[in-house]
């Protein structure tokens, strides 16, 4: 991803030395390690259809060859997605919007500008994620999943004291609009699911990387269904603007066209305040028709946001 950003925003061909300086993960490597990583990354990009152009600034002279990604070749034609496809794309985009990627992108742009290389910041819109994973535990848990590193963290459930959990992370997934960790709880010797917003404090390693394996055939979504903490306690009737509220559409039992141009959804939910937070996050794109207690909860949350902004 960092290599794509560097080659996409540069208006000129970037030499291999310049790429090594600006792309996170390259400049700390030995010459041999950098060459292997660079060739591997180029090949992976080509395999997924991203063409890297090789050339020089002045063909009349024997300039050093450089690399770039042409914006007109990178851009996709207009796509029309059905609701399920749009929801999947939205969830995939969420994964890439976290602090590390944002910091690396900013660092690469600054280094290119400092070297006098013209950049096109607008090109970043082509790889710009639209949804965020804001929980502080997201990044360290995502890394733990990727490196098979067991972790230890404090977990705070509503109305209960904090508990220390030692977990072998199997995967991170979005479930009913929230991020969860699924893994093996060592202390309870059982598979468990943890909501990332309830992870308190620092996520710490509880062993070396690669010290456990994920069972073959593990299906995170099937486990989420099995481990969901509570069955639905009610059904919300909400009106959603056309083209909006995809996470709610995905959870809906029924979708119908309303008389006012909005879509009417019937969405089951397990907790009133959790559902209220989900609905409030869509702002003016979603309106609650019922039940009354859910509508009151959403209004209360939105009023609190307005009061905080006015303070």
Domains of the chain: 2-87+97-126 (no CATH), 138-227 (2.30.30), 234-310 (no CATH)
Share of the chain above pLDDT 90, in %: 24
Confidence at 187, pLDDT banded by 50, 70, 90: very high
Predicted local confidence at residue 259, as pLDDT: 79
Q: How far is CA 27 from the centre of its chain?
A: 26
Higher-pLDDT residue of 79, 135: 135
Predicted local confidence at residue 17, as pLDDT: 87
Higher-pLDDT residue of 57, 204: 204
Average pLDDT, the chain: 78
Q: Is the pLDDT of residue 301 over 70?
A: yes
For 82, the token pair is 């059905």
Higher-pLDDT residue of 152, 310: 152
Provide mean pLDDT across the span 136-158: 90
Predicted local confidence at residue 129, as pLDDT: 45
Q: Is the pLDDT of residue 24 over 80?
A: no
- pLDDT per residue as tens digits for the range 160-186: 788 999 999 999 987 766 789 999 999
Instruction: Name the one residue in this structure whose structure tokens are 């914006």.
Output: 71
Confidence at 78, pLDDT banded by 50, 70, 90: low
Instruction: Name the one residue in this structure whose structure tokens are 């994973």.
Output: 133
Predicted local confidence at residue 128, as pLDDT: 46
Provide mean pLDDT across the span 117-134: 50
Provide mean pLDDT across the span 19-30: 81
- pLDDT per residue as tens digits for the range 81-109: 566 565 555 545 445 444 445 555 555 55
- pLDDT per residue as tens digits for the range 250-273: 788 888 888 788 999 999 887 788
Q: Is the pLDDT of residue 120 over 60?
A: no
33-37, 59-63, 267-271: range with highest mean pLDDT: 33-37
Q: Is the pLDDT of residue 138 over 80?
A: yes
Provide mean pLDDT across the span 53-71: 72
Phi, psi of 199 (to 5 degrees): -80, 120
Predicted local confidence at residue 101, as pLDDT: 52
Q: Is the pLDDT of residue 68 over 80?
A: yes
Predicted local confidence at residue 33, as pLDDT: 86
Burial, 183: exposed, middle or buried (Cβ in 10 Å; 0-12, 13-18, 19+)? buried
Confidence at 302, pLDDT banded by 50, 70, 90: confident
Confidence at 149, pLDDT banded by 50, 70, 90: very high
Higher-pLDDT residue of 36, 158: 36
């Amino acid at each position: 991803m960092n290599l794509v950003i560097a080659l996409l925003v540069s208006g000129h061909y970037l030499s291999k030395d310049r790429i090594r300086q600006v792309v996170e993960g390259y400049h700390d490597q030995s010459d041999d390690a950098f060459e292997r990583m660079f060739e591997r990354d180029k090949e992976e990009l080509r395999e997924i259809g991203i063409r890297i152009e090789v050339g020089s600034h002045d063909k009349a002279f024997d300039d050093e060859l450089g690399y770039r990604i042409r914006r007109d070749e990178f851009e996709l034609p207009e796509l029309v997605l059905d609701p399920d496809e749009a929801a999947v794309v939205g969830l995939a985009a969420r994964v890439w919007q976290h602090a590390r990627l944002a910091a690396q992108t900013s660092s690469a742009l600054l280094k290119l500008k400092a070297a006098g290389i013209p950049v096109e910041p607008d090109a970043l819109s082509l790889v710009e994620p639209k949804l965020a994973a804001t929980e502080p535990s997201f990044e360290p848990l995502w890394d733990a999943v990727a490196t098979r590193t067991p972790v230890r963290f404090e977990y705070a459930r509503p109305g209960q004291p904090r508990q220390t959990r030692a977990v072998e992370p199997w995967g991170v997934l979005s479930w009913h609009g929230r991020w969860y960790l699924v893994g093996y709880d060592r202390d309870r010797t059982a598979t468990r699911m943890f909501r990332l917003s309830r992870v308190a404090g620092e996520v710490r390693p509880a062993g070396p990387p690669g010290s456990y394996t994920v069972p073959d055939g593990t299906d995170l979504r099937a486990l989420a269904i099995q481990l969901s903490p509570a069955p639905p306690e009610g059904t919300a009737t909400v009106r959603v603007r056309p083209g909006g509220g995809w996470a709610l559409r995905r959870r809906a039992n029924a979708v119908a066209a309303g008389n006012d141009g909005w879509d009417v959804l019937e969405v089951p939910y397990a907790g009133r305040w959790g559902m209220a937070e989900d609905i409030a996050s869509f702002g003016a794109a979603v309106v609650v028709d019922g039940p009354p207690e859910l509508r009151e909860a959403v209004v209360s949350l939105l009023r609190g946001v307005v009061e905080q902004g006015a303070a």
